[in-house]
Structure 1
Amino acid sequence: MTDSSITVRRADGEDIARVEALLEANDLPYRDVRTKPECFFVASSDAEVIGVGGVEIYGSNGLLRSVVIEESSRGRGYGTAVRETLEEHARTNGVTTLYLLTTTASAFFRRSEYERVDRENVPSSIQRTTEFTDLCPTSATCLKKELR
């Protein structure tokens, strides 16, 4: 069940350090956050940042990245709210297919219609991202979702 007190909004300049800290604390890629701050969103509950996520847009393809919720706030639907907001943002901006890499959240995304795909079958615009080339291990599971 999703908690109605959550707000998901685009990260602003004051949020970037918090985005980096939350990603780093959860062993997610954070080193390139400042090179593309416009890609990140923050989730808040009762004015406290409890999660983050991002989406990079490359024409009709997008890279969903770094969706994480503070451990003490997990299990309340916040991750789903962040994912849905990012998917809607991507859809609104012309993305028809989202891709992602994960080492720990494959089951979470598969419950939301993401399907496994071989990395070599991902469009080159996504393969060239720092997430694919430098930040995520080759052992990460690659998933995709067709947006409707």
Structure 2
Amino acid sequence: MTDEFELREATAADRSYVRTLLEREGLPSSDVGESPARFYVAVEGSDAVGVGGIEAYGDCGLLRSVVVEAAARGEGTGAALCDALEARARDAGVETLYLLTTTAAPFFADRGYAETPRTDVPEAVARTAEFEDLCPDAATCMKKSL
């Protein structure tokens, strides 16, 4: 599949799907619909194949909640989804994306993200619910220059 999907901004009708997919993968979902994140849904044909979110704070941003449906894994969907989300962030003026992960550091490292101390994260990102409340302190913090 790789890049054969449409990335569209999640609507109010998509919130249940976004929450369900995040919960299934053990990712924070309590703030879906309340956070400043723009969530996106990757759709192939009539099937949703993944989700991801971006919170933009000027020239820095937070990549969050990137998940691909199990049936679409191993086909390059995750990499293509990240590419599409990064393009959206870049279009919004983001120059550096940060993320937290407990399970996918190797995947993101392969995508050009590098580990960085939480203390080096800009205040706007460090004050997000993801950093302050939703992700454990043991999560790996990573960044990528766009």
With the shorter chain as reference, the TM-score category is over 0.9
Give the Cα separation in 2 of the matches to 1:98 and 1:111: 15
1:71-102 per-residue CA deviation (whole Å, 9 max, x = no partner) reads 12111111112111110111111100000000
RMSD of the alignment, in Å?
Answer: 1.3
2:118 matched to 1:119? yes
Letter in 2 for 1:47: S
Give the Cα separation in 2 of the matches to 1:44 and 1:31: 23
2:21 matched to 1:2? no
Q: Which runs of 4+ in 1 moved over 6 A?
A: none
Q: Trace 1:87-102 onto structure 2 (pairs within 5 A).
A: 87-102=86-101
C-alpha displacement of 1:36: 3.1
Give the Cα separation in 1 of the matches to 2:78 and 2:37: 20
Q: Is the 8 A contact 1:11 1:38 kept in 2?
A: no
Letter in 1 for 2:2: T
Partner SS, residue 34 of structure 1: coil
Give the unaligned 5+ runs of structure 2: none
Q: Trace 1:16-27 onto structure 2 (pairs within 5 A).
A: 16-27=15-26
Q: Is the 8 A contact 1:29 1:136 kept in 2?
A: yes
Give the Cα separation in 1 of the matches to 2:96 and 2:23: 27
Quickly say closer, same or farther: Cα 1:95–1:7, change in 2 above 3 A.
Answer: same
Give the Cα separation in 2 of the matches to 1:37 and 1:143: 20
2:92 matched to 1:78? no
TM-score, normalization: structure 1? Answer: 0.94
Q: Is the 8 A contact 1:3 1:76 kept in 2?
A: no
Q: Is the 8 A contact 1:10 1:38 kept in 2?
A: no
C-alpha displacement of 1:66: 0.3
2:108 matched to 1:109? yes
Percent identity between matched residues is 50
Letter in 2 for 1:9: R
Task: Report the equivalent of 1:59.
Answer: 58
C-alpha displacement of 1:38: 5.7
Q: Is the 8 A contact 1:16 1:37 kept in 2?
A: no
Give the unaligned 5+ runs of structure 1: none
